Structure 1
């Protein structure tokens, strides 16, 4: 009875704490940048990354089941065939049932993982009727971007370079090794296609919160698509060992409303 009361007390305190936190917290704080000692994913901001998180959860479920089953089998074998209980074993027999189980079960698990995995793979690879295209070109060691759908006053496509902000020039709230002088500004709820290539060596355009990771290879154009579902700053980096300053060419994608995006486009055009 006392244990039951203690359990209900802890549960009541937990519920009250959640209510207080929800009332005090002004809004939702998203994790869109890497943190020190982080072992989890960043918060999702695109449908593709949501699918990746769901696939990870599904695979983790099967992984936990397999680990528990194998550990149970090992412990049961150690206990049953301990040298004190069975010092000498002269007779071995084949277990047809158990052999069928440990052969068919992994095949079924692989099938259960393969179908959603292939589905997500093809969805992430296909670009469906993009509303705008941004070209990203990797250099040693910075990125250059081109908005080929928009023209400036000279009739040329809008393009700019994006360099990492030095530590000495960081403003309050900016992130070391992640913020850049020119963000890639995109509108929310818009199907965006990124065309990625490399100018000198192989680079990799990666933004975890958007589920983007595509190699930039010199002489080749690779593409990927995304739909940013909310406003914010989404950070990434080159994920290829492209040279001595590989860790100093970050990516910063700024998602804004369509109205603010058009205002920004008017300013730089």
Structure 2
């Protein structure tokens, strides 16, 4: 969950998000180095004899500023491609959830369980109880078991939506007539908040996503309760 005056990302709650944070820090260090180095060169050219013709026409300098950027691009590309592969890898998920976007709410189906489906609406401000978050709480949360690979199938019924959960490293477009899939593992128990990240109409900012990660025994109790309640 984000907090006031926060500058960085939310705390990672999945192995994938941890990898994304590491890659962000890796790329940021390279960008910072380049920025400082270029600033130094510009300053040196304005204040010293670096503008000497013998230096500017040097074959060695031209070789360096051609080869060095290529090496830097490789250092960024390799971990980036690895991450892209990990984000697309779905290997024997323990649970499959279908998330369908509507104007303006989400509906969910647990495809491994018969008749386990529900709609998830944002709780209006006047109905909030103490401790709940305005514009983020929903009447029915998505409950998932802890430390289990989860596959999410994301689609939409009317217009483009986006199913996004920053703490879990998820952001998947919901496209009408198409199923997009993503995977995640919640590595610690808790409640994780997200929102539709596609401008989908007048109430775009009022269709939050809430995922609650619980131990397996609690998840089985929840499934039993939902089946009995249905």
TM-score normalised over the length of structure 2: 0.95
Shift of 1:251: 0.3
Specify every segment of 5 or more residues in structure 1 that has no aligned partner in the other structure, as ranges.
Answer: 1-32, 152-156
1:225 to 166, 171, 183: 183
Shift of 1:38: 2.5
**What is the CA–CA distance in structure 2 between the aligned matches of 1:128 and 1:74, rounded to whole Å?**
50
* 1:251–1:92 CA distance, 2 compared to 1 (3 A): closer
CA contact (8 A) 2:55 2:61 kept: no
1:120 to 65, 83, 95: 83
* Number of aligned residue pairs: 227
Shift of 1:111: 0.2
Query: Which ranges of 4 or more aligned residues in structure 1 deviate by more than 3 Å?
Result: 89-93
Structure with more relative contact order (C-alpha pairs < 8 Å, separation 6 or more): 2
Is 1:140 the counterpart of 2:140? The answer is no
Shift of 1:61: 1.1
Specify every segment of 5 or more residues in structure 2 that has no aligned partner in the other structure, as ranges.
Answer: none
**What is the CA–CA distance in structure 2 between the aligned matches of 1:185 and 1:238, rounded to whole Å?**
18
Per-residue CA shift, 1:237-257, capped at 9, x if unaligned?
Answer: 000000011011000000011
Is 1:188 the counterpart of 2:146? The answer is yes
Is 1:96 the counterpart of 2:64? The answer is no
**What is the CA–CA distance in structure 2 between the aligned matches of 1:248 and 1:135, rounded to whole Å?**
20
Q: 2:93 maps to which residue?
A: 130
| CA RMSD in angstroms, aligned pairs only | 1.7
Q: In structure 2, the residue corresponding to 1:190 is in which secondary structure?
A: coil
1:255 to 201, 210, 213: 213
Shift of 1:114: 0.3
